[in-house]
């Protein structure tokens, strides 16, 4: 499942994320921040997993599972576009 992160989401280098539509803010660890950066670039799920594997020395199945969990969190917190 590919998702598109809301384009107006603001995320700082420290992983502080602010949703201007709802006023909610979140802190995200470096892995999550990297996921969001790639999502905002518009990369596909496979591309994101490949890049993460290159950067973090991790098995694709592990990063894939974490990525799916993370996407679910983003959806639960209304951080993806409505039409997804």
Whose Cβ is closer to other proteins: residue 26's or residue 50's?
Answer: 26
14 makes contact with other proteins (CB under 8 A): no
Q: How many residues does the chain have?
A: 84
23 makes contact with other proteins (CB under 8 A): yes
| Residue 46 DSSP code | H
26 makes contact with other proteins (CB under 8 A): no
User: What is the C-alpha end-to-end distance of the chain, expressed in Å?
Assistant: 9
Closest CA to 36 of 60, 67, 61: 67
29 makes contact with other proteins (CB under 8 A): no
Contact residues for other proteins, defined by CB under 8 A: 8, 10, 18, 20-24, 78
């Amino acid at each position: 499942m590919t998702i598109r992160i809301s384009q107006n989401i603001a995320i700082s280098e420290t992983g502080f994320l602010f949703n201007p539509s709802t006023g909610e803010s979140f802190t995200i660890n470096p892995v999550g921040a990297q996921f969001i950066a790639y999502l905002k670039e518009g990369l596909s799920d496979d591309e994101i997993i490949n890049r993460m594997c290159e950067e973090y020395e991790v098995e694709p199945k592990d990063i894939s599972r974490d990525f799916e969990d993370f996407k679910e969190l983003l959806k639960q917190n209304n951080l993806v576009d409505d039409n997804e």
